[in-house]
Amino acid sequence: MATLLLCWFGTATAAYEIGLDNGVYSWSRYLDRPNQPLSPEEGKAAFDRIMAWAQVTLDHLGPAGDQSLIPDQADATRLFAVLGAAPKIHMSGEIVDRYGYVSSIPGDMTVLLVMVDNCPGPCERVFDLELRRDPGNFPKPGKLQPTPGLSAAAATKSGLRLGLTKDEVKAILGWPQHEEENVLRYGASQGVFLPREEVLARGFPEKYVQMGQSIYRFIKVTFTNGRADSIRLDHRTVWD
């Protein structure tokens, strides 16, 4: 069974998102304030934009720059095929260990941190990709695996990449669900009932066909001197 994961961005993931519930869209802004209803047109436009797979498909990976990773579709085997095998990095206070990579290209210090669900078989899937300009304040830089499959050219299929300005990020993702001086946060969530074939193919028992699932999408972009220095892409299906 997949591990029910904590909110990796702190309370912000629970607080800032566009929710879709029974065809009604709402904007969750703060934990201690009621949701703000959105018109069907505004809600659908924002929700669909954030939930588009192009926003979390990380492209221009692999030694030839022609490979990609997609959360909830790629597994550890796919990750290793694109970037090479790497040991897990344990971070204090976190449930799921990371795989960490740093570019081996001279002069390029790009970092990619990847989380994979702790479950055996087909439910073991990538759910979190964090792209960083350099190791920066990462507490265990010596644990990062050098790879020729990562470079500063890495970007989402939608064009989200390191070095963009806030306005350039907003042009891709739309209006943020929360904005700070050096942070933009985006989120969307919905309840779904996956087809029986998909539930079983993911390695879950029959009971989950009737129970339904929740899908969460979170994107966080941080900035230094007005330019994006980290991009975090989180997409996960919660079963419990």
Using alpha carbons, list the distances in angstroms from residue 146 to 30, 94, 127, 238: 39, 23, 22, 32
- pLDDT score at 12: 36
The model's pTM is: 0.91
Q: Within 13 Å, how many C-alpha atoms sit on residue 218's CB side? A: 24
Token pair, residue 42, equals 């505004």
Domain spans of the chain? 12-238
The residue with greater pLDDT, 38 or 1, is: 38
Give pLDDT tens digits for 51-76. 999 999 999 999 999 999 999 999 99
Read off the pLDDT of each residue in 110-122 and give the average, rounded to a whole number.
91
- Provide the pLDDT confidence category of residue 5 given band limits of 50, 70 and 90: very low
- pLDDT score at 226: 98
Read off the pLDDT of each residue in 91-108 and give the average, rounded to a whole number.
95
**Any alpha helices (H) in the chain, and if so which ranges?**
12-15, 40-51, 76-83, 166-173, 196-201, 207-211
Are 35 and 19 within 8 A, CB to CB? yes
Give pLDDT tens digits for 175-232. 999 999 999 999 999 998 889 999 888 888 888 888 888 999 999 999 999 999 999 9
